[in-house]
Amino acid sequence: MNRQKQYRGAAAALAVLVLAAVLFFVGGSWLEKRSQKPETRTELPQETAETMEVDGVTYRRRTDLTTILVMGIDHDSEVEAEGSYQGGQADFQRLIVIDSKDKTVRQLKIDRDTMAEVTVLGMLGNPVGTTQMQISLAHGFGDGKEESCGYARDAVSRLLQGENIDFYLAMSLDGISVLNDLAGGVTVTLEDDFSAADPAMTKGATLTLQGNQAEIFVRRRMDIGEGTNEARMVRQEEYLAQLSAQLESRVQQDQQFTAQVYDALQPYLVTDLAKGQLVNEVWAAKDDTVEPAIALEGEHKVAEDGFTEFYPTEASIQKAVLTLFWEPVEE
């Protein structure tokens, strides 16, 4: 598989993150009334819940959890995958853990370069085992849709010591412009010159981004300012904060806006989430607490082929698993 990074995935990452904020973060317990799934570990009564001891501390598995893997894919929605190796890389991944008991949403940021056990396919497109590679590549195997999302979900589950992931939601790059326009456009003051991509986007101009301008603003890098990814990330955070605020305001005011977002982005999404329950429960639970996202700790290395690899520590993985899925047992 081609391991070349495709930086356009950054725009899709932002779009998916904001979509998750609208659909999940604002309504953390929308799955309280979902159809019950048989034999799930998260539905055990507290007195019989699974426990384990780590470093002398006893932990109990949290109950009433729902986990959702949110992904931004570097593959345009209109491009059909060919064969079993063109699914597109999941350059953005975030695990959302919804605790309907505590009315809390916890999040794990997953570095796209995290080295993990990824399912690989044989000549006929069938799984033949796993091998260690960047976790973003897991989605590249498969059909670019449900099959690819399944491989990505499996890779994250393996990384997190086999913890269950209930659902996935993936969004392709070209949804960012649609999402931007649904929010009414985002107003920014340009600190760099983008006029090579759009004549209206000159340095110092204050304008409301429309359509493709949003993608240019959050994606463009090499010919903008100092040309670094760090500078681009500052722009992305600025854009994300404003876009999130506008979308969340709309959700608070209008129950049907969530459905409008879902419908408008449907061509760009691959998910196993049902829409009907989602819309009703997001509105009903829009005041749940969202905790700051956590991230794994580890070391970035440059491999012999020149690409970056991130090796998380086992202690960091254990800590994340305990934070997301377990709670200390009170004496």
Identify which has the larger pLDDT, 8 or 140: 140
Bridge partners, residue 299, by sequence:
311
Mean pLDDT of 172-191: 87
Query: In which residue are the tokens 């806006």 written?
Result: 257
pLDDT score at 277: 55
* Residue predicted with more confidence, 235 or 192: 192
Q: Please, which pLDDT band fits residue 4 given cuts at 50, 70 and 90?
A: very low
- Band the pLDDT of 279: cuts 50, 70, 90: low
- Per-residue confidence band for 94, with pLDDT thresholds at 50, 70 and 90: confident
φ, ψ (nearest 5 deg) of residue 88: 85, 145
Amino acid at 262: Y
Token pair 């209008």: residue: 254
Q: Would the pLDDT of 15 be above 90?
A: no
User: In this structure, what is the dihedral angle of CA atoms 186, 191, 192, 194, given to the nearest 10 degrees?
Assistant: 20
Q: Which CATH number is correct for 9-175+254-328, 3.40.720.10, 3.30.420.590, 1.20.140.10, 3.10.20.30?
A: 3.30.420.590
Domain limits, the chain: 9-175+254-328
Burial class for 258, CB neighbours closer than 10 Å (0-12, 13-18, 19+): buried
Q: How far apart are CA 89 and CA 76, in angstroms?
A: 11
For residue 329, the SS3 value is: coil
For range 258-277, the mean pLDDT: 78
What is the predicted pLDDT for the residue at 24? Answer: 44
The label of the residue with tokens 């019989």 reads: 48
Which pLDDT tens digit goes with each residue over 242-264?
887 787 777 777 767 777 887 88
End-to-end CA distance of the chain: 51
pLDDT tens-place string over residues 127-169 = 899 999 999 999 999 888 999 999 999 999 999 999 999 889 8
The C-alpha atoms of residue 211 and residue 197 are separated, in whole angstroms, by 13
Lowest mean pLDDT among 22-36, 110-124, 125-139: 22-36
